[in-house]
Amino acid sequence: MEKLKELPGGICAPRGFKAGGVRAGIKAGASKRDLALVYSDRPCSSAAVFTRNRVQAASVIVSREHLKKSGGRIRALIANSGNANACTGETGLAAARRMAALGAEKLALRPEECAVASTGVIGVPLPLPLIEAAMDELAASLCTGADGALAALEAIMTTDTRKKQGALQCTLPRAHDIRIGAMTKGSGMIHPSMATMICLITTDAALSPAMLDRALRRAVDRSFNRLTVDGDMSTNDMVLIMAGGAAENEPIETEGEAYEVFAGALETLCVKLARAMARDGEGASRLITVTVAGAASEADAAVLARSVAGSSLVKAACFGADANWGRVLCALGYAGIPFDPAAAAISFKSAEGSIPVCRDGASLPFSEAEAKKILSRDEIEILIDLNGRRAGQAESFSGGSEGAGSGSAGPGSASAWGCDLSFEYVKINGDYRS
């Protein structure tokens, strides 16, 4: 993981990609961009992960079809905000197909080489004529560099308040520098697995579709699937990666050192964006990282951590900077994973310091004032050790990001990310459509 270097430029940081975004008029009111296009000037390997909700948006159905039909060779994405094109029946499906075809036509691609994504209100027909009318301008807006990436990102945002993008460079064996860039939107209806999120990842590395798929699934499992804002799994979730190969590395077609470097960098970027999404959760005032150590497996630890991060009562307590650790233990208790509550230890941590509040499943004496100070920061950690009986307990976490590992009873540790539950969340969601 050494030698990761952050880059500017988001999805246009990798060589060979162009992006653009315009206003088509799908989003009511404001003069905001709402239609995005991203294009690789080379053929790509591609892979994607979609929502597991049984109700799936037309864009999800069509993109899955195109991924399959092209044999993992998607090289463009057309995406809109302001309308999810979900629960819109056969008409919606036809609209999504038409939207992909419009993008493909402008780029001289086959329709199945173009994926489509939509986000916004559910159940309202997609205003296709607005998209058709904007296609010339959209194609003309394509450009390399940071401006193109930013225009595309702005065009997929809904209630997002921050621009969530990033890019990394890393070095494969034989000194090949490759780049990975990503942009994501999503701040409400966010829950494992996935979210109302659209995430597009670009890379100039060369990989086979199969290895790209494997690396993507691993990264998503350890990032976006550990994210929860409100417990609602969306109809529109999609993470798409396109690998164009402009870096001209020897194509990664098997596991090995090059795959590991690539997959590790991809995971790092996805975790960064997942954290950014939690921080930008609807109405959020704090980013909450929940880390569980001492579980039987990483998978068990992830379920426990997500249960805590998803608890309305824990989230509301964090909003109030209230060190109500009993709610943390309670949320562990209903996660459906066996553990011994009488051995659990809990600490709260932030840039203000850390404070152990529970050991052996029971209260430790602690200063409420100090706890409040720690919990008042905009980034807080809840550290849980399922075998806190060994000395030092939660203090032994390695920075709180991926948990302890060494010294745990069980070998499993994992983090999940969420945010507090605020007045603002209710305000945003009590009147989203109006």
Stretch that binds a second copy, among 83-91, 167-175, 273-281, 378-386 (CB under 8 A): 83-91
If one asks whether residue 122 binds a second copy (CB under 8 A), the answer comes out as yes
- Scanning residues 50 to 69, which ones bind a second copy (CB under 8 A)? 52-56
User: Is 243:203 a contact under the CB 8 Å cutoff?
Assistant: yes
If one asks whether residue 430 binds a second copy (CB under 8 A), the answer comes out as yes
If one asks whether residue 28 binds a second copy (CB under 8 A), the answer comes out as no
If one asks whether residue 127 binds a second copy (CB under 8 A), the answer comes out as no
Whole-Å CA distances, 324 to 314, 332, 382, 400: 7, 14, 11, 19
Question: Per DSSP, which regions of 174-226 are E strands?
Answer: 176-185, 198-203
Residue from 127, 330, 373, 407 that binds a second copy (CB under 8 A)? 330
If one asks whether residue 237 binds a second copy (CB under 8 A), the answer comes out as no
3-state SS record for 359-422: ECCEECCCCHHHHHHHHCCCEEEEEEECCCCCCCHHHHCCCCCCCCCCCCCCCEEEEEEEECCC
Residue from 361, 405, 407, 410 that binds a second copy (CB under 8 A)? 361
If one asks whether residue 297 binds a second copy (CB under 8 A), the answer comes out as no
If one asks whether residue 29 binds a second copy (CB under 8 A), the answer comes out as no
If one asks whether residue 427 binds a second copy (CB under 8 A), the answer comes out as yes
Cβ-count burial of 7 within 10 angstroms (0-12 exposed, 13-18 middle, 19+ buried)? Answer: middle
- Scanning residues 85 to 114, which ones bind a second copy (CB under 8 A)? 86-89, 91-92
Cβ-count burial of 394 within 10 angstroms (0-12 exposed, 13-18 middle, 19+ buried)? Answer: buried
Just list the catalytic residues: 196
For residue 285, which amino acid is it? S
- Scanning residues 154 to 213, which ones bind a second copy (CB under 8 A)? 188-189, 191
If one asks whether residue 351 binds a second copy (CB under 8 A), the answer comes out as no
CA angle 168, 185, 269 (to 5 degrees): 20
Residues found near a second copy in the complex (CB under 8 A):
52-56, 84, 86-89, 91-92, 121-125, 188-189, 191, 230-235, 310-313, 316-317, 319-320, 322, 324-327, 329-334, 338-339, 341-342, 358, 360-363, 421-423, 425-434
